[in-house]
Amino acid sequence: MRILFFTDTHLRGNNPESRKDDFPATLKRKLAEVVAIASDYQVDLVIHGGDVFDLPVPSLTVTASYFNILQKIPAPIYAIAGNHDIFAHNPATLERTMLGFIAGLGLLHLLVPGEKVYIEKKGIRLQLTGQHYHYDIDARDPALDYMPSDKKDCDVAVHVVHGMLLDKPFPLIRHTLVEQIVKTPADITLCGHNHIGFADVVVDGKYFLNCGALVRLSNHPEEIKRWPQVLIIDLSGGGVKRERVRLQSALPGEEVLDREKIRLREEKSQRLAEFIQALKQEQDLAFTSVNAIVNAIAQQEGLEPAVREEALKRIAAAQERLGG
């Protein structure tokens, strides 16, 4: 049994700010290549890790132009919803979204959290479960989202999640670490959401895989370096053979992502840093001169000392609020 996993396709009808190419045309070429890979590898099953669409309700024309290609995949597609597929990070809105509609038409199958699907092909029985993105993911007990309740009546259990699963800690981003979920009953955990992906992690015969997004939306240096790919998992012979297939239709990051925008952003933040530094240096001087002005006014107007002191006190408080 062979599985093709891909994730974060962010189907949309226009260009992200940082892309220099015709993004919808590129997307169509990539999807056609995914169809070809699925066919070449004779996959029995395709799994999408979420963020199928870039918006919960893209236009009908945009949807048709992409699903016209995706429906040629010669195997069933199972998917979960990513944060971009739903409104307000709430999977309860799925029925009002394009992903919900597409699933209603039978163009793909949406996994239902907590429900097991069994697929049997070439003598292998697979248990498939999934978890959509939701507002509490990576903030509550990871077992609730990243682990199926159990593995039952099957050879291999696969669990798919759209969440920030990382192989090592990353500051400032709400995430879940692989080491927190190594007790999962699933043999294979497939993850989307983290577009950069990570190298395959194997712990005690359990596989934690994220091959990265099919598209590069941001001009982050990591994205420029990265090559879009899909993951082929071969379960025949009792093992879990993995192959990352790089998309030949993808172009080098430098050609599609606008470095000029990065340069401008870096320049802007550099200038901002210089400006803040200059402000800090000026602050003592400015502060002294404000005090001098208050003193001058107080003297000129013959104000009572208490008034002058109150004014200076308020200026000091304001200075403190501004961070000294």
Q: Where does this chain bind Mn ion (CB under 5 A)?
A: 8, 51
> Under a CB-based contact definition with an 8 Å cutoff, are residues 38 and 71 in contact?
no
Cβ nearer to Mn ion, comparing 8 with 33: 8
What is the C-alpha separation between 27 and 44, in angstroms, rounded? Answer: 23
CB of 8 to Mn ion, least distance (A): 4
Report in angstroms the alpha-carbon separations of 269 from 16, 212, 266, 281. Answer: 21, 28, 5, 18
CB of 215 to Mn ion, least distance (A): 9
CB of 49 to Mn ion, least distance (A): 9
CB of 78 to Mn ion, least distance (A): 18
In 3-state terms, what secondary structure has residue 303? coil
Cβ nearer to Mn ion, comparing 8 with 138: 8
Longest dimension (CA), the chain: 98
CB of 214 to Mn ion, least distance (A): 10
In 3-state terms, what secondary structure has residue 15? coil
For 197-227, letters b (16+ CB in 10 Å) and e give bbeebeeeebbbbbbbbbbbbbbbeebbebe
What is the C-alpha separation between 114 and 144, in angstroms, rounded? Answer: 9
Cβ nearer to Mn ion, comparing 83 with 189: 83
Cβ nearer to Mn ion, comparing 8 with 44: 8
Cβ nearer to Mn ion, comparing 151 with 162: 162
Q: Determine the residue with CB nearest Mn ion.
A: 51
Cβ nearer to Mn ion, comparing 8 with 145: 8
Cβ nearer to Mn ion, comparing 133 with 146: 133
CB of 193 to Mn ion, least distance (A): 6
What DSSP string runs through 157-177? Answer: EEEEEES-EESS--TTS--EE
> Under a CB-based contact definition with an 8 Å cutoff, are residues 261 and 247 in contact?
no
Give every CB contact of residue 189 below 8 A, 6+ residues apart in sequence: 146, 158, 159, 160, 161, 165, 181, 206, 207, 208, 209
CB of 53 to Mn ion, least distance (A): 10
